[in-house]
Amino acid sequence: MTEGKPVHLEAGNHAVLLLHGLSSSPLEMRFLARALHREGFSTVAPVLPGYSAGTREQRMEAWVAAAVSEFDALSCRYTHVSVCGLSIGAALAMALVSKRPSAKSVALLSVTLDYDGWAIPWYRFLLGWAYFTPLRNRWRYREQEPFGLRNEALRSKVARAMLKGDLSEVGPATISLNALHEASRLARSVRRIVPGVSTDCLIVHAIDDETSNPANARFVSSHLASTFIRTIYLDDSYHMITSDNERETVAREVVMFLRESEAAAEAGEGGKAPVVSKALARRLRQIAALAK
């Protein structure tokens, strides 16, 4: 597996730090980076030592330190710096803004504090124990269909890349037990710090996310101390919402939120304004009808 290349697109004085998913690469954030750049935002999707594919694995504290270092470098160059993370990258984004409350805003895409989606293998809970056995340095979790994608054409393309063991725009073919263990440690730490985060926050999650149940998003939105929160649920995507059917919607919502966050700050206004999509409301009605 090769290391993905970082993305850096220069534009306006508001920079967005984009954090990809676990053991993956900036490829996951490329579409969003370009979309934000077209709208006048400078975008940076870095390769983080110890976290990104192709780098020597390190503990999650090193991941956070690397992300904070990237943020600090951007803060020296731009008027505003926001953070956007995908999957475990969203948990990493939360850890970052808890240490750097100067962040203008944070966008959490498919935030993962627990691997509890409908496609997670039944034996997932055993991996915590396996970490303390000789399997620790030998076993790797192999990604399987649907690879976080509802889009079947893209899923077929990704499947071919996975068979060759290549990096794809939805991540690596396999993830080590060490990386999964450190991701779980990060998630547990983030659950504790969420109530202390007051940064403007956008949460976007698919209601059919096969990796992280929407309960992850609900936990964050219900515990944040932020005064400006928006929560949006998608109904035509799975976990990899930066690549799937609604990637344009995701990009548009991130752009709108960043601009509204700037405007609210300039006006000195706030107000918790959660937005729940019609898709979620419809699904909840369906579940209630089945329960009866």
Residues involved in catalysis: 87, 209, 239
Q: Please name the amino acid found at residue 179.
A: A
- Sign, Cα dihedral of 3, 142, 171, 109: negative
Strand partners, 203: 108, 231
Measured between alpha carbons, how far is 81 from 104 in angstroms, rounded to an integer? 6
Query: With b meaning 16 or more CB within 10 Å and e meaning fewer, what string describes 43-64?
Result: bbbbbbebbbbeeeebebebbb
| Ramachandran area for residue 246 (φ above 0: left; ψ -120 to 50: alpha; else beta) | alpha
- Parallel/antiparallel/unpaired status of strands 14-19 and 200-206: unpaired
Measured between alpha carbons, how far is 155 from 182 in angstroms, rounded to an integer? 27
Q: How many residues does the chain have?
A: 292
Give the tokens for residue 89.
């990258």
- Parallel/antiparallel/unpaired status of strands 14-19 and 174-176: unpaired
Measured between alpha carbons, how far is 62 from 50 in angstroms, rounded to an integer? 7
